[in-house]
Structure 1
Amino acid sequence: MKISTKGRYGLTIMMELGVRYGEGPTSLKSIAEKHGLSEHYLEQLIAPLRNAGLVKSIRGAYGGYVLSKNPEDVTAGEIIRLLEGPISPVDFTEEDDPAKRDLWVRIRDAIAAVLDSTTLSYLVSYKDEGKNENYMFYI
């Protein structure tokens, strides 16, 4: 399974909002500048996150976005499924060889377990040799 830029950048948005949880709104422009991303692309990604109730928009000169939930209550699985769709390493059917089908199901379930047990709170508190300015995601 390869997670596209939608999932990676969406997770980056959510992590930035998680770092600033309780501090007021954060603009997409500031997130885009910090990570060298397209603000226009982030605007496209924030809509489904807002529609799903994961973020709230704040209007005004000092507006932006805030998390709707505590970072401990949001999982990477929620974010990835919302932006990428169902988690599945390959498409398989009931006609597939049972041994292969079992392997694909076990891989899918293992990926889902990692994503569903990884909270936004964990991701924003993770430190790699003291650096957490730019996030890299490996699955």
Structure 2
Amino acid sequence: MKLTSKGRYAVTAILDIALNGQENPVTLSDISERQSISLSYLEQLFAKLRRHGLVKSVRGPGGGYQLGLPTQDISIGMIISAVNENISVTKCLGQGNCHDGHECLTHSLWEELSQRIESFLDQITLAELVNKQGTKARTHQTHQDFDNLLVVNS
């Protein structure tokens, strides 16, 4: 299985909105700059994300994008699915024609793995990723405070 940049970038961009868009909408140019993702690529992804209701656009000065649902209601699986990302690990992409038009010997194994990956991604919410980022930021700040204390007391 290979998750392409489409799925990775979509998750990253929506997480960026969740982290930076509590007060005001987030522009795609801001996401592009912070995450080093092409603006034109983001525009393509956000058209799909908007159609699926995961984000909504705000027009006018100060406009941009906001989440279309609360973070606890958006799963990573929903985001990946919205941008038409296929996470099947079967050679035939689940079609059952992997060996001369028939299922290969290990088709059911790879099919089950695909289902487990999909289930796993459906269980992870955007809220969980936001919380993890918050924990990392607090840990980083605590380390900086400790380092500053050491410098002052030296």
SS at match of 2:88: coil
- Structure 2 residue aligned with 1:79: 79
Deviates more, 1:17-26 or 1:43-52: 17-26
2:95 corresponds to 1:88: no
- Kindly indicate whether the alpha-carbon contact (under 8 Å) linking 2:7 and 2:85 is maintained by their aligned counterparts in 1: no
Paired with 2:132 and 2:14, the residues of 1 have a C-alpha distance of: 14
Distance in 1, matches of 2:37 and 2:103, equals 41
Q: Distance in 2 between matches of 1:85 and 1:127?
A: 24
Q: TM-score, normalised by structure 2?
A: 0.76
Secondary structure of the residue that 1:130 maps to in structure 2?
helix
In structure 1, the partner of 2:117 is 111
TM-score, length basis structure 1: 0.84
Correspondence 1:1-139 to 2 at 5 A: 1-90=1-90, 91=92, 92=94, 93=96, 95-97=102-104, 100-127=106-133, 130=136
CA distance in 2: counterparts of 1:29 and 1:65, whole angstroms: 11
The higher relative CO (CA closer than 8 Å, separation ≥ 6) is in 1
Unpaired runs of 5+ residues, structure 1, are 132-139
Which position in structure 2 is the counterpart of 1:137? none
Q: Which structure: larger Rg?
A: 2
In the other structure, the counterpart of 2:150 is: none
5+ unaligned residues in a row in structure 2: which ranges? Answer: 138-154
Question: Larger % of helix: which?
Answer: 2
Rounded Cα–Cα distance in structure 1 between residues aligned with 2:58 and 2:133? 30
Identical pairs, percent: 36
Partner of 2:144: none
Which portions of structure 1, spanning 4 or more consecutive aligned residues, are displaced by more than 4 angstroms?
Answer: none
Judge which range, 44-53 or 101-110, deviates more: 101-110
Q: How many residues are paired up? A: 131
CA RMSD of aligned residues (A): 2.2
Residues in 2 aligned to 1:124 and 1:61: alpha-carbon distance in whole angstroms: 27
* Deviations 1:80-110 (CA, angstroms, capped at 9, x unpaired): 112134431122417324x512201221111
